[in-house]
Chain A
Amino acid sequence: MTDPASPSGEALLVVAGLEGWYGESHVLHGIDFDVREGEVVTLLGRNGAGKTSTLLAIMGILSKRKGSVRFRGDETIALQPRQIARLGIALCPEERGIFSSLNVEENLMLPPQIQEGGLSVERIFELFPNLKERLRSQGTKLSGGEQQMLAIARILRTGAKMLLLDEPTEGLAPVIVQQIGHTIEALKAEGFTIVLVEQNFRFAAAVADRHYVVDQGRVVDMIPNSELEANIDKLHAYLGV
């Protein structure tokens, strides 16, 4: 897909013709999108459209993938997840992935630092003051909202500047959703580049620069946030709401 709003020369992440499989089942049939440095981009779509699979495929976690994922110009399609992580891409998974046998501090400090320039622990506690008070608690004893914050917090330390956030607002109270929205704005201001998978369309509209619509394992449309109002009917048709 050629996209006049984002010439690929400036793009940090370029995904082209990406196909992916879980075992035998073919879930991605050609995902094309790109993300420029410092942008927040969402992947919108129905349940099962392939949004989460797209993030897992970028991270190298799907059992088989084909096509092209270039990060800072380097092709990553043949790399292992740990090598992709070392390039500076970090995933916050949908199920949050907080480790129950680790306390909050161990969870926070777990991902190794891969580059200079990650947030300091002090800065992380500014963003997520709740975590500071619960450092000794078992990771999974936190509330859902705190677990989500911990899952985001721990990838900010590593120096990875490209964050893949999978439904960070899922199942959370509105006040927490708002706090996560503020966090994403703050991260954007710090220079992070974010790909956000979201079901919460209003949340997506509040934080994102552009929206890609995913359907049946393909990217079917791109809508800049500024043109969202004009395209709202089309989007509702895509999402089936």
Chain B
Amino acid sequence: MGQLFLGLINGSFYAVLSLGLAVIFGLLNIINFAHGALYMMGAFIGWMLLNYAGIGYWPALILSPLIVGGFGILLERTMLSRLYHLDHLYGLLLTFGLALIIQGLFRNYYGISGMSYQIPAALSGGQNLGFMFLPNYRAWVVLASVVVCFGTWFMIERTRLGAYLRAATENPVLVGAFGINVPLMITLTYGFGVALAAFAGVLAAPIYSVNPNMGADLIIVVFAVVVIGGMGSIMGAILTGFGLGLVEGLARVFYPEGSAVVIFVIMAIVLMIKPEGLFGRAV
């Protein structure tokens, strides 16, 4: 049971990160390889806010995504926006390069040993549920991820702003001809997707050590999650993220040696049977 719950925690991060990737890919047509680095940056900015400015966890949970989102907007305006008319590959290469630069800079200043970040006082301790011990902070991570994921889903699938976004994903030229500022929408979407990564980073800071490689380690799995779920679907990204976290947890119970590769095995099977992904639309 404990392992399953641990799987759900990992799944929370997979879900929030693959959701951001799916939102960005939908509108920008860019496979954002910098997503892991920006997640790491989110965690680091949380740490810096605390250690350099004395700003605690709760404000950091808002501030860090805002800062990283602003940084993302800068990247989009100055670099990514020049690539939209080109093949996916160029966006992937550029964001991959950006990821290496960002990680390299942090490694240069902070080394690779990792920093610790205290669990906020309000969420320390845990509950004994009888069959398992539930740390409060981990419960909060799952809850916060679920709320953020479904909030994002609701915004995209059920609101007017989301309708603009979906329409612009299908036919940006026509949406522009209706008088909507599509380039601005694209910029804000990238900022939002990246802010989601930073939010996940702050959530992760008290659980995993804050180190420059934390994103690089995670993003490989997240890309496997995205391949399995398919790029096109918001709900698909969320469900696949949580689901695969659980599958990983199950693997840890029944066949611990396989838990590190189970997601990649599933990815290979999905690619053979349904190459567009479980929830994806054919490209």
Contacts and interface: CB of A to CB of B under 8 A. Distances in A.
Contact of B163 (A93, A102, A114, A158): A102
B124 interface: no
A110 B164 contact: yes
Contacts of B175: 110
B58 interface: no
Given A82-B177, A158-B178, A109 B171 contact: no
Interface in B163-177: 163-164, 166-167, 169-171, 173-177
Contacts of A110: 163-164, 167, 175, 178
Contacts of B81: none
Nearest to A60: B177
Contacts of B177: 59-61, 81-82, 84-85, 91
Given A59-B177, A85-B179, A100 B164 contact: no
A99 B170 CA distance: 7
Interface string A79-121: 0111011100011010001011110001001111010000000
B180 A112 contact: yes
Contacts, number: 57
A82 B182 contact: yes
B217 to A, nearest CB: 34
Nearest to B173: A61
Contact of B169 (A90, A93, A101): A101
B82 interface: no
Contacts of B170: 99-101
B181 interface: yes
B173 A82 contact: no
B181 to A, nearest CB: 6
Nearest to A160: B179
Contacts of B173: 61, 81
A131 to B, nearest CB: 16
B152 to A, nearest CB: 16
Contacts of A102: 163, 166-167
Given A99-B166, A102-B166, A109 B160 contact: yes
Contact of A82 (B163, B166, B171, B180): B180
A69 to B, nearest CB: 14
Given A100-B170, A101-B169, A85 B178 contact: yes
A93 B176 CA distance: 13
A151 B176 CA distance: 15
A180 B270 CA distance: 47
A97 B174 contact: yes
Which among A61, A100, A109, A110 has the greatest number of chain B C-beta atoms within 10 A?
A110
Contacts of A109: 160, 163
Interface string B247-282: 000000000000000000000000000000000000
Given A81-B173, A93-B174, A97-B174, A114 B167 contact: no
Contacts of B182: 82
A25 B163 CA distance: 34
A168 to B, nearest CB: 16
B178 A101 contact: no
Contact of A101 (B166, B179, B180, B181): B166
Given A99-B170, A101-B169, A101-B170, A111 B163 contact: no
Contacts of A86: 179
A82 B179 contact: yes
A101 B167 contact: yes
A111 B178 contact: yes
Interface string A43-67: 0000000000000000111000000
Contacts of B169: 101
Nearest to A155: B178
Interface in A152-193: 155, 158
Interface in B148-169: 160, 163-164, 166-167, 169
The 6 A-B pairs at the shortest CB distance, nearest first, are namely A85-B179, A111-B178, A101-B166, A106-B163, A81-B177, A97-B174
Interface of A: 59-61, 80-82, 84-86, 90-91, 93, 97, 99-102, 106, 109-112, 114, 155, 158
Given A82-B176, A111-B179, 20 more contacts: A61-B173, A80-B176, A81-B173, A81-B176, A81-B177, A82-B179, A82-B182, A85-B176, A85-B179, A90-B178, A91-B174, A97-B171, A99-B166, A99-B170, A100-B170, A101-B169, A106-B163, A109-B163, A110-B164, A112-B180
9 contacts: A81-B177, A82-B182, A84-B177, A93-B174, A99-B167, A100-B170, A101-B167, A112-B180, A158-B178
